[in-house]
Structure 1
Amino acid sequence: MNRYPLWKYLLILFVILLGMVYALPNLYVPDPAVQVSGQSSATVIDQQLLDQMEQALKDEGIEYFGAESNGENALIRLKERDQQLPAKRVIQRALGSDYVVALNLAPTTPEWLAALGAQPMKLGLDLSGGVHFLLEVNIDEAVGKRMESAVREIRGAMREEKLRYHTVKLEGGTIVSKFRTEEERDEANRILRRDFRDLTTQLTTDGGLFTIRSNMSESAIREVEDYALNQNLVTLRNRVNELGVSEPIVQRQGRNRVMVELPGVQDTAEAKRIIGKTANLEFRLEAEEQNVVTAEKFEFLNDKSRFPDAWLERTVVITGDHVSNASASFDENGFPQVNITLDSDGGARMHRVSRKNIDRRLGVLFIEYKTRTTYTTNEKGEQVATSERYVEKKIISLATIRSALGKTFRITGLDNPRESSELALLLRAGGLAAPMYFVEERTIGPSLGAENIALGVKSVTIGMAMVLLFMLVYYRVFGIFANVALAFNLVIMVAAMSMLSATLTLPGIAGIVLTVGMAVDANVLIFSRIREELANGLPPQSAINAGYDRAFVSILDANLTTLIVAVILYAVGSGPVQGFAVTLSIGILTSMFTAILGTRALVNLVYGGRTINKVWI
């Protein structure tokens, strides 16, 4: 009676040792650091660039104690956290706008622990901070795209009605349609009022020509704004999910801004590059040699690295919005490529255009909206930063159409596998309906202050101390068993959260405090049952055995109902509520293990297989 087989003792010991190993990284405080990576995933961070950054920090008197680079990004460790922002400004000024400079926390976990996959638990914005981005959506660009599309549709409608027009073009945000006769203008106005109800028209006469000036109505502009912002919100959420960030916050702020908060994020430079990119593609045909190339119908793109002096039609075959799936792979020669699947509309357009343009070259244009920061010195000798927005267009493929294309095809000509993976990620997440620019970026400290954080840790300490004291005084030797199990319960709980990459928040700390109390509830039920069995005259060994066996059903029911509530809280709650639900759920599972198996193993080791007349309980 009251004996465990050897395998059960070994299982409990293994779980405890595993918990100690994976909880250990949380004792190593990360170093404040600045991380640098390229705007493009193909950018190489070499030793020369690392030396340039170190020299810039030395010139400004900023102390650091470590600089490392793996070719894709560089990490410079600083001695004080308040040196991060000055170091970031110095490095950004030294390197220019072709590099992403972001604040980071460099892990100090020993290599042998990291090799086992042991990483410290992520802390939420309210504990150790994270990254806060505020992005502004360029609504004017979204409205401009809609107006450009309307120009093409108006021309098509005029041709279908066999109505002759002089010119139809976009001038300063207004669609200007000119006709030679008043009758043609009136007929065109009738068509616009019938088929383009989002436009308001104004009839004028200009240079002997009869003119219609069309502008988008206020309600239509508001509809475009809402669509662009909502589409960008969905895209950003998809991109954040691709990054694997726990409990992110992506929400609208005001009329044209989006706030993104990434708690516990480790690679802020990667997050900024992925979130900030406008990953949209445009598929355009190259100009034919016999065409008269004009800036109105064609666009000259001078991409010196791959396809110099290319003229592409301004008319877009399809955009990245029609991409339903994208995956990175390698072609038959081992070069990186992206396999693309279009939706039904995009596939039909691609098939129709490619079927009519066999042996012509189709260009794949990658468009990014970037911000360039320049520094000037004012009259007081202070460095003033000025941001300038610009558009960068790059041809990533220019291949000859050999046969009609369908819904699936591939993009080749990429520099490396990382670039193909990043492009596939951005395309899977969806294209942005309008470009976005960073207007604010900061690393957030504890939102509730260091005092509240200290109080949170203090509450766990005091709560656990009081529970340990009560169990020790009230249950004596069995109280020692419960206290040992409780200590291991916290260790295993922290290890489980670290292994699951769960984010610990202040509500999560409240869940830990609650778990401390719930963990001993099971032992209280068991020990009370043992006391009852002893009072009923059972021998000590039989009373111990009966106490554990008969209390198990009650413990299981109580914990199961609490676990169901925790799961519901996680499913329907927001970030803080989810943080509480996560720690509560993990705590319930670990306390079941330590309070039942753990204490039973200690009791069996002390009392099992012995003849005893009295137990201290």
Structure 2
Amino acid sequence: MLHIDTWKRALIWLVCLAGLVFAMPNVFYTKVEGHNDALAAIEKTGETPDLREKAGQWPEWLPSNLVNLGLDLRGGAHLLAEVQVQEVYQTRMDALWPVVRDALKGDRDTIGGVQRVNAPEGELQVRIGKPEGIEQALATVRGLAEPIQSLSTPGAKDIEASANGDVISIRLTEAEKLASDDRTVRQALEIIRRRIDAVGTREPTIQRQGDNRILIQVPGVGSATELKSIIGTTARLTFNPVVSRGSDPDARAGVGNAVIPSMDEQGLYYTIETSPVVSGDELVDAQPSFDQNGRPAVSFRFDTTGARKFGDYTRDNIGQPFAIVLDNEVISAPVIQSHIPGGSGIITGNFTVEESTNLAVLLRAGALPAELNFLEERTIGPELGQDSIEAGKVATAVAFAAVLLFMFLSYGLFGLFANIALILNIVLMFAALSVLGATLTLPGIAGIVLTVGMAVDANVLIFERIREELKTAKGPARAITLGYERALSAIIDANITTFITAVILFVMGSGPVRGFAITLGLGILTSVFTAIFVTRLMIVIWFERRRPKTIEV
């Protein structure tokens, strides 16, 4: 018979009430957003009267989760970057040279002296003093090869070596290049994410595309140029021995050395050893600070390994200049005055406070393993995003009004019940999006509009089935019960197939496609709930009060 247990009624109304409460912050979007930003700022920097006033715009005991607006609605920056993975090959060879040199020292009696010679990009070539010892030297170098941790190429080594006369050529194997490319892109992806998170942007999209490309979309950033300044700097910090200094940029550097300009002094160039004593990879902290003269600077601290190498070098090279190099420019080249144990120090230069803060952020996030080449960049202004929101509102309102009118004209009072359920359906959708912290995009709005049209399908099936059952003269209560029972299988079949499509779109798609899939999938769940449970509960309550002898659907 037409009956719903009390506990089921309470549960249905409780779900609807929870939806209203959690969706409500989106009605006061600006106030709640200001409240959330103020609380985050208070947690990060401490409380101020201004921040406390902003935080008081919304009661703390109410939910404050919002539906995040995507790039096309909020405005922001879009970048497509290509990671220059080949750069890592030469970096690996430069880092390998001291290891090879030290390994061959034990064979000096057999092979003579060891000298690095010019080699093609991505290759290390070493000349030995005694050509007759080439086989011994080659065996020693091959002994430095390490296995690659890869399931696709088990047993493969990371480097290979060959001999030609008295010269040994060392290069990465093809298997290691593939593994290195993958590591480089994944490392770049993580560092970009850390850099963007450090400046407090909301809901960025950072994902890999293809073998060596990264898609970056950040809502709320003023321009693509601003975003590039945050993530595009390689920020590779190294500490290198200084060979000489002068004013000639074309001075002969020698094998294993490089001539690079000074960042602060125009026309001054340093010749440095390319193999660093210690690098920014071994930094564990970097903070903006001030030097002894009150000028902006950056203090740093190395990990245990970096601290040991830094301390050993400063102990053995007192009185020698030491270059602090950032992205192939010498920030400063102080003379080592004394042993510096502990692995901490300070970087000085002609920084502004903002520059020292940004440099500290970049160093903490880590250096990009390779340079980024930006293939595509777009700036979406907030005005265009607002236009998209208004257009979405209009589209949703028109679809909503048309469906409400159609249902009322077609099914009368029962259509009114379906319309109330439809309104609750939209509320539940926004509540779910808010709780999940999902990002709403323009395709997501399209998913909502589509859901509005699909939401009444279940009610149409039920009401049409009730009409058919009324013709058998079994009475209105029995007709309503059978209408819901016999329409249920068709409703579930139709919505399951659509939900499967939404899941496939979410798994296989990216960006806007996922936004559409999320709203479509949530809309299916909420529309089935409101059609099967909410409308039935309203009809049961109405029937219990009126007890009509006949009904007209």
Map of 2:537 onto structure 1: 601
Matches within 5 A, 1:424-443: 432-434=368-370
Rounded to whole Å, the distance in 2 between the matches of 1:258 and 1:392 is 33
User: In 1, are the aligned partners of 2:73 and 2:388 still within 8 Å (CA)?
Assistant: no
User: In 1, are the aligned partners of 2:67 and 2:440 still within 8 Å (CA)?
Assistant: yes
1:92-117 deviation per Cα after TM superposition (whole angstroms, max 9, x unaligned): xxxxxxxxxxxxxxx98865455444
Letter of the 2:488 partner, please give it.
F
Map of 2:507 onto structure 1: 571
Map of 1:250 onto structure 2: 207
Letter of the 2:42 partner, please give it.
N
Distance 1:531 1:138, change over 3 A: closer
RMSD: 6.0
What displacement does 1:263 show?
4.8
Rounded to whole Å, the distance in 2 between the matches of 1:200 and 1:530 is 84
Map of 1:260 onto structure 2: 216
User: In 2, are the aligned partners of 1:489 and 1:590 still within 8 Å (CA)?
Assistant: yes
Q: How many residues align?
A: 440
Distance 1:119 1:391, change over 3 A: farther
Aligned pair 1:233/2:179, yes or no? no
Distance 1:458 1:612, change over 3 A: same
Distance 1:262 1:317, change over 3 A: closer
Rounded to whole Å, the distance in 1 between the matches of 2:332 and 2:176 is 24
What displacement does 1:478 show?
0.4
Percent sequence identity over matched residues?
A: 36
Matches within 5 A, 1:10-409: 10-30=10-30, 70=42, 72=44, 112=58, 115-132=61-78, 142-156=88-102, 158-159=104-105, 161=107, 162-165=110-113, 167-168=115-116, 184=130, 230-238=182-190, 248-251=205-208, 258-263=214-219, 398=342
Distance 1:264 1:128, change over 3 A: same
What displacement does 1:480 show?
0.4
Map of 1:586 onto structure 2: 522
Q: Which moved more, 1:138-147 or 1:485-494?
A: 138-147
Letter of the 1:124 partner, please give it.
G
Rounded to whole Å, the distance in 2 between the matches of 1:254 and 1:558 is 38
The SS at the match of 1:70 is: helix
Rounded to whole Å, the distance in 1 between the matches of 2:203 and 2:11 is 31
1:189-248 deviation per Cα after TM superposition (whole angstroms, max 9, x unaligned): 995799689899999xxxxxxx97x9988xx79999987664343124446778698682
What displacement does 1:496 show?
0.4
Rounded to whole Å, the distance in 1 between the matches of 2:83 and 2:71 is 25
TM-score (normalised: structure 2): 0.60
What displacement does 1:144 show?
4.8
Letter of the 1:502 partner, please give it.
A
Letter of the 2:98 partner, please give it.
R
Map of 2:489 onto structure 1: 553
Letter of the 1:7 partner, please give it.
W
Distance 1:447 1:232, change over 3 A: farther
1:559-600 deviation per Cα after TM superposition (whole angstroms, max 9, x unaligned): 222212211221122222211111111111111111111111
Rounded to whole Å, the distance in 2 between the matches of 1:516 and 1:439 is 39
- Determine which structure has the larger strand proportion and give its number: 1
The SS at the match of 2:528 is: helix
TM-score (normalised: structure 1): 0.55
Rounded to whole Å, the distance in 1 between the matches of 2:545 and 2:116 is 98
1:275-299 deviation per Cα after TM superposition (whole angstroms, max 9, x unaligned): 67989999xxxxxxxxxxxxx9xxx
Rounded to whole Å, the distance in 1 between the matches of 2:340 and 2:400 is 60
Rounded to whole Å, the distance in 1 between the matches of 2:80 and 2:95 is 29
Distance 1:471 1:576, change over 3 A: same
The SS at the match of 1:260 is: strand
Distance 1:318 1:20, change over 3 A: closer
Letter of the 2:397 partner, please give it.
T
What displacement does 1:483 show?
0.4
Map of 2:4 onto structure 1: 4
What displacement does 1:524 show?
0.6
- Determine which structure has the larger helix proportion and give its number: 2
Rounded to whole Å, the distance in 1 between the matches of 2:41 and 2:55 is 18
What displacement does 1:19 show?
1.4
The SS at the match of 1:126 is: helix
User: In 2, are the aligned partners of 1:567 and 1:581 still within 8 Å (CA)?
Assistant: yes
1:259-283 deviation per Cα after TM superposition (whole angstroms, max 9, x unaligned): 52235899x9xx999967989999x
What displacement does 1:538 show?
1.8
